[in-house]
């Protein structure tokens, strides 16, 4: 969907730009013709007719500056996104509208996403929008947890991380990152757990139990952010991504790729399940919530959350 809109803006900009250029050239010719009026006997009515005759295409050309500005801003500076799911709670909520800084990691071709000018690499802890490595036309938003060369170990029982850096170079875990977790406390966020009652009719076979998330502060080398956990809930071990020549729940991040995780750890499809994100798939860094509607997934908004507007950490 994002690419379709980009292509539409590009075509609209080029199309209106052709007519805008044509009428600018025509305007210059008319100015030259007006100057000659003092030296030659030129019909004033004819001059006014060719200067002020307005056509559909002339009106269309007036949209060129608008399309050009929108295309440049959206393709190279900032792009708005809406948060459709709760995988990044509590950092980002369903109904948040965010701005993504497109030039954070360099300038890219808006169609092919090939890097034209490189700026810097993502930092651990950045909240990043990217193209899914398998479903390329789908945009995801997650937090950068693992950098190239890291070895990551995930404990499915405690849901804690262990990360050692430069593993690809040193082949050992002498450089472990200091990772701390605060005591958990109950949050205001809830999750519906659905069950199927076979004794009910097909129309009413969905029942659910609502449970509260625990909120925990994750501190990775003094990079702090809150995560949500569901006590007693864990994924099937076979569902996790199995890297070649590695045991389950252990991954080594290849060069030029990143390990992404959602802050809502028990409700996030991320690198634990489908692997790494190549640098070329990165769209930009999420920097600000500019609008937030109070809503649930697949429901209409019920209000505006003014207190949500601000920077993203």
Would you please indicate which residues are annotated as catalytic (active-site) residues? 87, 142
Rounded CA gap, 265 and 313, in Å? 17
Residue 283 sits at the vertex; the CA angle it makes with 279 and 285, to the nearest 5 degrees, is 100
Cα separation, 270 vs 246, in Å, equals 18
Residue 8 in 3-state DSSP? helix
End-to-end CA distance of the chain: 27
Query: Tokens 């199309």 appear where?
Result: 15
Alpha helices in 110-235 (DSSP H): 167-170
Pair 187, 213: CB distance under 8 Å:
yes
Answer for the pair 141, 127: CB distance below 8 angstroms, yes or no.
yes
Question: Which residues are 214's β-sheet partners?
Answer: 186, 229
Distance CA 265, CA 228 (A): 6
Residues in the chain, total: 313
CA 10, CA 26: separation in Å to the nearest integer?
Answer: 24
Tell me the three state secondary structure of residue 194: strand
* Distance from C-alpha of 157 to C-alpha of 47, rounded to nearest angstrom: 83
């Amino acid at each position: 969907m994002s690419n379709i809109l980009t292509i539409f803006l590009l075509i609209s900009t080029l199309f209106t730009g052709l007519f805008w250029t044509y009428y600018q050239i025509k305007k210059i010719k008319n100015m030259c013709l007006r100057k000659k009026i003092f030296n030659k006997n030129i019909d004033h009515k004819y001059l006014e007719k060719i200067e002020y005759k307005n056509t559909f295409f002339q009106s269309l050309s007036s949209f060129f500056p608008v399309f050009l500005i929108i295309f440049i801003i959206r393709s190279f500076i900032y792009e708005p996104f809406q948060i459709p799911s709760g995988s990044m709670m509590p950092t980002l909520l369903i109904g948040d509208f965010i701005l993504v800084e497109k030039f954070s990691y360099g300038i890219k071709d808006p169609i092919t996403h090939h890097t034209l000018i490189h700026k810097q690499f993502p930092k651990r802890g950045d909240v990043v929008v990217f193209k899914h490595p398998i479903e390329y036309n789908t945009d995801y938003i997650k937090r950068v947890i693992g950098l190239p060369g890291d070895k990551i170990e995930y404990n499915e029982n405690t849901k804690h991380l262990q990360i050692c850096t430069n593993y690809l170079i040193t082949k050992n875990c002498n450089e472990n990152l200091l990772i701390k977790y605060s005591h958990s406390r109950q949050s205001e966020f809830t999750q519906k757990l659905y069950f199927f009652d076979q004794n009910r009719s097909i129309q009413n076979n969905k029942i659910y139990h609502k449970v509260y998330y625990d909120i925990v502060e994750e501190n990775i080398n003094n990079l702090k952010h809150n995560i949500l956990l569901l006590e007693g809930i864990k994924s099937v071990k076979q569902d996790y991504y199995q890297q070649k020549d590695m045991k389950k729940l252990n991954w080594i991040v290849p060069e030029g790729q990143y390990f992404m995780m959602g802050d809502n750890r028990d409700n996030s499809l991320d690198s634990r399940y489908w692997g790494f994100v190549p640098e070329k798939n990165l769209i930009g860094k999420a920097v600000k919530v500019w609008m937030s509607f109070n809503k649930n997934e697949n429901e209409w908004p019920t209000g505006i959350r003014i207190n949500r507007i601000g920077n993203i950490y």
